[in-house]
Structure 1
Amino acid sequence: MLEERGRIVAIESDAVWVETIQRSACNGCEAKSGCGTGLLGDFFSSSTRVRAVLNGYPADKISLNDTAVIGITESALTSSTLLVYLLPLVSLVLVALLGDYFFAEAGAVIGALMGLLGGALGVRWYSRRQAANPTFTPVLLRIEPSSGHS
């Protein structure tokens, strides 16, 4: 199970909304303070709100601004990552090859663009079909209470 920490910004009867901060991989590096890449990563970091299912955790034990630890299975992340990266790439190459075969260089360029767009639309279609699939839904693993929580 892959874990991420975030701040609870909303509470529903069956889920919580968690705001996470996206950081660069440089956060764990010892040279971060003297590195331009680390400074740029901090500058461009952004927050994302994620809905996490309570997973049996009682909603009345949760307060706003508590730190939530949410998780998703490794297999869900791996399969999603492969789909998001490989489907557009493979469709780009295949349709470009077809375009090149039938229409020479101009066909390859147009085919590559059409393949990339088709692959992106395929990813979007698949993600919408899987939106209700619990395998791809983050779950609340535990709560780390905020300092003012009793």
Structure 2
Amino acid sequence: MLIETGKVVAVESDGLWVETISRSTCGSCAAQKGCGQSLLAKLAGHTTYLWVSLGGRNSADYQVGDDIELGVPEAVVANGSLLVYLLPLITLLGFTLAASELGWGEGATTLAGLFGLVAGGALVRWRAHVTRHDSRLQPVLVDDQQVVSVS
């Protein structure tokens, strides 16, 4: 389980709105000072707001400004990354190869590849929309009230 710290910005009866700040995944890299990713993360401090279910906990136990820990299963992150990065590339290559095999010209083949890339992105967006309420894919509160199990 990947653990992230967040700050409560709103409390609802069945969940919390939590603010998280994206951290560079390459924080331990030797090239950190020369890395554009690290610099942008520090300067911009990309803030993200997440809704987290209380999972049966009492909302009175949480107040705005509390620091909490969120957990996301590693498999969710790995599978999501594969979907987001590979699906558009696979559709780009598939459409490009299909256009090439059909004997289309260079310009049409390029446009077919571009269409495949956009179609792959649209499929990713559709999948995200369909699974947006799937509780298995949502972050969970990690505290003394929840046993963290690694499946």
State the TM-score, normalizing by the size of structure 2.
0.84
1:56: how far off? 2.5
Higher share of residues assigned strand: 1
In the other structure, the counterpart of 1:44 is 44
1:26: how far off? 4.5
In the other structure, the counterpart of 2:118 is 117
Give % identity: 35
In the other structure, the counterpart of 2:131 is 130
SS in 2 for 1:76: helix
* Ranges in structure 1 where 5+ consecutive residues have no aligned partner: 144-150
Question: Compared with structure 1, are the counterparts of its residues 31 and 95 closer, same or farther at alpha carbon in structure 2 (3 Å cutoff)?
Answer: closer
In the other structure, the counterpart of 1:78 is 78
SS in 1 for 2:143: strand
On the 8 A contact 2:11/2:64 being kept in 1, the answer is yes
On the 8 A contact 2:8/2:63 being kept in 1, the answer is yes
On the 8 A contact 1:100/1:106 being kept in 2, the answer is no
- Alignment length (residue pairs): 141
Between the aligned partners of 2:30 and 2:10, the Cα distance in structure 1 is: 35
Give the root-mean-square deviation of aligned CA atoms. 1.9
1:117: how far off? 0.5
On the 8 A contact 1:24/1:45 being kept in 2, the answer is no
SS in 2 for 1:3: strand
Question: Compared with structure 1, are the counterparts of its residues 20 and 98 closer, same or farther at alpha carbon in structure 2 (3 Å cutoff)?
Answer: same
SS in 2 for 1:142: coil
